[in-house]
Amino acid sequence: MPHLLPSNRRLVVQGNFFAVVFFSLWLLCAAVTNGQVSTNGEYDYFLGEVLVKFKSDASEAKISQLNGTIGGEIIDRFSGDPNLYHIKVPETLGVGTAVSFYTNEDSVALAEPNIAYSTQVVPNDPSFSRQYALQKIQAPGAWDTVVGDYGAVLADTDTGMDYNHADLAPNLWTNTGEICGNGIDDDGNGLVDDCFGWDFFNNNNNPMDTVGHGSHTAGIMGAAGNNGIGIAGVVWNAQVMPLKIGSGTSISNAAAIKAIDYAWSMGAWAINASWGGRGFSQLLKDAIDRAGSAGVLFIAAAGNNGTNNDTTPFYPANYNSPNVISVASTTSTDARASSSNYGARTVHLGAPGAAVFSTYRSGGYATMSGTSMAAPHVTGAVGLIWSYNPFLPSDTIKSIILNSVDSIPSLQGRTVSGGRLNLKKAIQNTPAP
Ligand code: CA
């Protein structure tokens, strides 16, 4: 397979499928951004947007004064960090200049561009046999013991999800604290009518997927099983929480941070991140660490550059946080996918990612490839293990997964565990509750 990502500079996916507790108040006066992406040679970022974390003793007046100096307007704030602001700055100023301006101010703790990550899918060969992946990881052997539990809440930070899809609708997460459509923030979490996820990219309550990527990853982890149609997810019964954080193949770091804080605060057990890029964000790592403190695992695609993450880091997979699991992509013959990143110290294990058949937008199905497809196999495994024994701490779940892999030559010396996910062994190695 050719290396279809043209360079590390421009992490935009190519291929047939991809020609592819403040919000409500702030929405009323939110500045508008154009959502356009540029690059600085190292990573992509959204034009005219910065993330600024002020020091906790910075007054509102000081913040207003600084924003006024540079022409900054507050777009939004963050439920997980009251000192963090999403700010629109004049595009003519340049994001680098704006970041420097804020960084040099005494009342600012940290300033970053709003990094644009990208979904980690590569084009594929649709003639591969369908759902080889579940056989490969010996899912049927695990399903003899457990098929899931609706208490398993798996957040999918992605392009949204086709929640009307016949194979996804049965496992759509619902917010039991919210009365849908009454225009009231019933549960007081800052979001009005967040009944079944949220669109953090456009700031509304409709996380519908019009791209396909998010529907695909959602189905891999949690398509309804044994329902007589379509496919089975790794976990048959679960609640998949769709959190939309991007448009097309571009993922907004600001939206990702908001989505991660939403996921753990609303009860998710695991968060899937089938996206990434070269840009380091302390603010994103901080959000992942907040999820970790809540006992939530964060499963990330290792990336599709075909490179070594030990020497060329890929984020968020490379954050050295104990709750992160970085996943490489393997094929039907247990080769490492040629496009998959690897790393003896930084990539934990492999999972099937090449030519994976799953649900798609508009009620469809599609075969797609990439570490985007590998990660949700592991996220589904987390859901299945926790369905079997919900009392295990997250670090134990991670250890069970890494200690249950099938060792395969293509991943030895290339991943921490040296192997590919085995669901049957993982359940066998899970103590009964
Ligand atoms: Ca709400």
For residue 222, give Cα distances in angstroms to 34, 149, 173, 214, 406: 33, 11, 11, 12, 22
Q: What is the pLDDT of residue 409?
A: 98
Over range 89-93, report the average pLDDT. Answer: 89
Q: Which of 165, 213, 216, 377 is the catalytic position?
A: 213
Concerning whether 213 is annotated as a catalytic residue, the answer is yes
Digit-coded pLDDT (tens) for 292-348: 999 999 999 999 999 999 999 999 999 999 999 999 999 999 999 999 999 999 999
Q: Which residue has the tokens 């709003």?
A: 114
Q: Which of 252, 274, 281, 372 is the catalytic position?
A: 372
* Ligand 1 centre distance from Cα of residue 411 (Å): 44
Predicted TM-score (pTM) of the model is 0.86
Q: What is the pLDDT of residue 33?
A: 62
Q: Give me the torsion for CA of 247, 248, 249, 250, rounded to 10°.
A: -30
* Ligand 1 centre distance from Cα of residue 100 (Å): 36
Q: 99 is written with which tokens?
A: 């970041």
For residue 111, give Cα distances in angstroms to 37, 82, 97, 188, 347: 18, 15, 11, 29, 28
Q: Which of 158, 167, 193, 209 is the catalytic position?
A: 158
What CA–CA distance (Å, rounded) separates 50 from 292?
Answer: 25
Name the pLDDT band for 423 (thresholds 50, 70, 90): very high
Which domains occur in the chain, in start order?
A: 2-23+120-428 (3.40.50.200), 26-116 (3.30.70.80)
| Closest C-alpha to 219, from 240, 205, 198 | 240
* Ligand 1 centre distance from Cα of residue 179 (Å): 9
Digit-coded pLDDT (tens) for 150-205: 899 999 999 999 999 999 999 999 999 999 999 999 999 999 999 999 999 999 99
The one-letter amino acid code at 112 reads E
DSSP string, 249-279: TEEEHHHHHHHHHHHHHTT-SEEEE-EEBS-
Name the pLDDT band for 249 (thresholds 50, 70, 90): confident
Name the pLDDT band for 38 (thresholds 50, 70, 90): confident
| Closest C-alpha to 34, from 274, 213, 211, 252 | 252
Q: 108 is written with which tokens?
A: 């600012």
Of residues 140 and 107, more confidently modeled: 107
* Ligand 1 centre distance from Cα of residue 260 (Å): 16
* Ligand 1 centre distance from Cα of residue 419 (Å): 41
Concerning whether 187 is annotated as a catalytic residue, the answer is no
| Closest C-alpha to 247, from 203, 300, 284 | 203
Contact 377, 217 (CB under 8 A): no
Q: What is the pLDDT of residue 31?
A: 54
How much is the mean pLDDT over the chain? Answer: 90
